[in-house]
Amino acid sequence: MKKEKKKITITVSPTVLLLAIIVLCIVWTLVTRPKKEKRTLKIDETPVIVDRIKTLGELNTACYYDELVLQGSKQNYFSTTPLGALARDGFGKDVDDHLVIIARGTVRAGVDLLEMSGEDIRFVGDTVFVRLPEAKYLDIIVNPSDFEVFAESGNWTHEQVTALQGTAKERLLQGADYYGLKMKAYEGAMDAVTTLLEASGYSFIRFDHSPSYIKLPSPKD
Amino acid sequence: MRRTEIIKAVFTLVLPAMLLLGCSRKSAKDTNADGLEAITSVKELGLVEYRVRKIVKADDEGEWYKIGDRKILFSCTAYLKAGVDMSSFTVDDIVMDRSNGKVSITVPHASLLTINIPSSEVRLEYDQVTLLRSSFSAQERNLILRQGEKSIRDSVPSLGILEKAEENARLFFEALFSKMGFTTVEVIFK
């Protein structure tokens, strides 16, 4: 008895067929497309233009370093809607935009030797009388590489970020004041000038001017 | 049935555990910063400042699956200070011959002391984002500016700032020692 062959029929709907063709096309395109370089953010090379050259005579003797956390928050479109208000007031959800930046800054202090006139340094025998200018903050440095965006939600414009970053400067100065950076810079400047003058053969170096933040012992002491 | 349970277990226990471990490792690394003192003493003689301008521009075409592109352009001003580091300066670095009015001082070669790019002097000049792309985030803008900062640092040797600083150092020490009565001042950079 002859065995009957079973007929298997597969019915494919036109939609499935169409999808399969599309998938195949996509796969084919991806496989055969020429390998390009990874298309990421491209920073173009531009020249650095020197705008101004200034002669300095800054004796930098003390630096203050600190890490700060800068936090900013602002309302967004959703938080101003009734739904946002409900989420905030009714459920205690924070619906505002937030930006948290870590800033690592440096304050450099010292004396500006260009502020000295000819009378501020007098050589009498083996003694030198020096009147140093008051120490001041020479630089407050927080560069782009010193900022780290730790958390960011919502859209923050460049101006808003700059305003937040600007607060780092004030806080760094407060910290420098707290640690008495100017006084340390002045002491460092006296030390540096003493080393230089002693090396030049002078035995006695007298500083005959002291800024207000240096407390010298009174003659009675 | 059993396989499904295993898969569920993987997703419910192992993956969160891995994620947690990953997170804790990251935070441990973040807090492992080098110990730094708030105040440090230095002895640097800043002799010249260059104010430079730079355009920082970036073009983000995005990955193949992103439609449209983004462009951004900043202009920024940077202040570069160069001078000599006097921290290693000792008595031996000055050789005097008072009888002949000669003095010789040895100082280190000039170096870049600071680069300062105040955020208030970084201006966003142009920003273009096509409809289907998200705008530049604060983090992305910062990364672009970091590249600009690096580019400014890299350009230091070609700006001539170090040569200018050494020229000013020579003038500075000549003026100082002339006031002390020396007629010949030799400044050596080592």
Its ipTM equals 0.75
Spatial separation of the C-alpha atoms in residues B106 and A140, rounded to whole Å: 30
Q: What is the mean pLDDT of residues A124-147?
A: 93
Instruction: Name the residue with tokens 């439609």.
Output: B67
Spatial separation of the C-alpha atoms in residues A176 and A141, rounded to whole Å: 13
Query: Helix B138-154 and helix A158-178: axis angle, to 10°?
Result: 70
What DSSP letter does each residue of A115-174 carry, written as one string?
Answer: G--GGGEEEETTEEEE-PPPPEEEEEE--GGGEEEEEE-S---HHHHHHHHHHHHHHHHH
- A149–B138: do the CB atoms touch at under 8 Å? yes
Residues of B in contact with A182 (CB under 8 A): none
Candidates B60, B94, B149; nearest CB to A145: B149
- B61–A42: do the CB atoms touch at under 8 Å? yes
The domain segmentation of chain A, as residue ranges, is 46-73+103-214
SS3 content of chain B, % helix, strand, coil (to 5): 40, 35, 25
pLDDT value, residue B55: 94
Percent of chain A clearing pLDDT 90 (strictly above):
50
pLDDT value, residue B21: 37
Q: Which of B21-30, B48-57, B84-93 has the lowest mean pLDDT?
A: B21-30
Candidates B94, B119, B135; nearest CB to A166: B119
Chain segment A54-92, per-residue pLDDT in tens: 999 999 999 999 999 999 999 888 878 888 788 778 887
Residues of A in contact with B52 (CB under 8 A): 48-51
- B140–A64: do the CB atoms touch at under 8 Å? no
Instruction: Name the residue with tokens 């063709």.
Output: A21
Between B76 and A43, the higher pLDDT residue? B76
Is pLDDT of B5 > 80? no
Q: How far is A93 from chain B (nearest CA, A)?
A: 23
- B60–A42: do the CB atoms touch at under 8 Å? yes
Chain segment B134-176, per-residue pLDDT in tens: 889 999 999 999 999 999 999 999 999 999 999 999 999 998 8
Q: Which of A160-174, A197-211, B7-21, B107-121 has the lowest mean pLDDT?
A: B7-21
Q: What is the mean pLDDT of residues B29-49?
A: 74
Spatial separation of the C-alpha atoms in residues B71 and B136, rounded to whole Å: 9
- B86–A158: do the CB atoms touch at under 8 Å? no
Between A114 and B61, the higher pLDDT residue? A114
Spatial separation of the C-alpha atoms in residues A192 and A16, rounded to whole Å: 84
pLDDT value, residue B38: 87
Residues of A in contact with B77 (CB under 8 A): 51
Sheet containing strand B184-189, edge to edge, reads B94-97, B102-107, B184-189
Is pLDDT of A35 > 50? yes
- Hey, what amino acid is at B132? L
